[in-house]
A = this chain, B = another copy of it.
Amino acid sequence: MPELRKDPVVGRWVIISTERARRPNDFNTEPVRPRGGPCVFCTGNEDKTPPEIVAVRPPDTTRDGPGWSLRVVPNKFPALRIEGDLEPSGEGLYDRMNGVGAHEVVIETPDHYASLATMSIDAVADVFLTFRDRILDLKKDPRFEYVLVFKNHGEAAGASLEHPHSQLIATPIIPIMVTEELAGSQQYWQRKERCVWCDVIRQERRDRRRVVAESAGFIVLEPFAPRFPFETWILPVRHRSAFEESGVEELRGLAEMVGTFLRLMNRTLGSPPFNFMLHTAPLREGAVEYFHWHLEIIPKLTRVAGYEWGSGFFINPAPPEDAAEALRAAAP
């Protein structure tokens, strides 16, 4: 029997479609395999990107020269522009403002063929430390209300370059999905005086069926009402609302879990394209008791079609309990 399940944070129902149930091998996904460099993000082509904002590089190397292990550069084709004021205005019943924002690219490694699944823990930790530092820096700009960090891996997941990279976009507006998570978790707090994600973690740890992996600091789980097959959340076990307040050791722990999960995913699903998105509290909120930062990872296995676009109601052919079991079974 198919099941309707409701996300406990935002109240979004999904359809877990057992009649169309699919096993890991049933998804016909092209594995992501780099066709080859060098590309504009490779060492030696530093002049092909806009000048670097920050980099992880030895002190004897020069800015925009070789020798780096990670670079952050402005996106060459930014969705938003860094200069200017918002100048909100109306047009009859419509509202608009200037598209002011920051759009940056984190080049995660000089190695065109590496990935977060194969890089060392230290190198992956540098990526997450860089996210933290960029958020802290962009927070100083009073025009911005939110920084969303995300990754498109593989062409089918929206990547236009195959060299390992992630991105961030700072906006003068809190994105609607974060607003919905804030509203849902605040309502839960008002009723229970507990963080809904902390409650989810407690219940999942007892239940075990949807837990993929765990460490002292982090838990990897398949959510109860996932929109997509093998949708995965990674959360800090201790309550934390602002990602940018994480310490070095915490982010090293996160790097370890992200690497572990991506290797399980690659073994289970054949190195699929994927997206990840970091949900943290808005820049001006500070530490809030009801929000809990988390990383959402979505392998790109199915097409989103008319029903989903028209309803917001996702049909998911992979029950999360089965997905978690398959991922756990891929552990070495």
Residues from chain B with Cβ under 8 Å of A8 in the complex: 93-95
* A171, A176, A178, A275, most chain B CB atoms within 10 A: A176
Residues from chain B with Cβ under 8 Å of A172 in the complex: 4
Say if the beta carbon of A35 comes within 8 Å of chain B: no
Residues from chain B with Cβ under 8 Å of A312 in the complex: 175-177, 180
Residues from chain B with Cβ under 8 Å of A18 in the complex: 99
CB <8 Å contact, A175 and B313: yes
Name the distance in Å between A14's Cβ and chain B's nearest Cβ.
10
CB <8 Å contact, A4 and B275: no
Q: Closest B-chain residue to A8, C-beta based?
A: B93
Residues from chain B with Cβ under 8 Å of A12 in the complex: 176
CB <8 Å contact, A19 and B81: yes
CB <8 Å contact, B6 and A94: yes
Contact with B along A176-200 (1 / 0, CB 8 A): 1110100000000000000010011
Residues from chain B with Cβ under 8 Å of A177 in the complex: 310-313
Say if the beta carbon of A288 comes within 8 Å of chain B: no
Residues from chain B with Cβ under 8 Å of A298 in the complex: 309
Name the distance in Å between A324's Cβ and chain B's nearest Cβ.
15
Partner of A296, one of B99, B171, B310: B310
A77 to B98, alpha carbons, bound, how many Å?
46
Contact with B along A305-327 (1 / 0, CB 8 A): 11101111101000000000000
CB <8 Å contact, A13 and B176: yes
Selecting from A40-48, A149-157, A242-250, the interface stretch reads A149-157
Nearest 8 Cβ contacts at the A-B interface: A158-B305, A277-B310, A2-B99, A175-B311, A150-B306, A275-B306, A177-B312, A176-B312
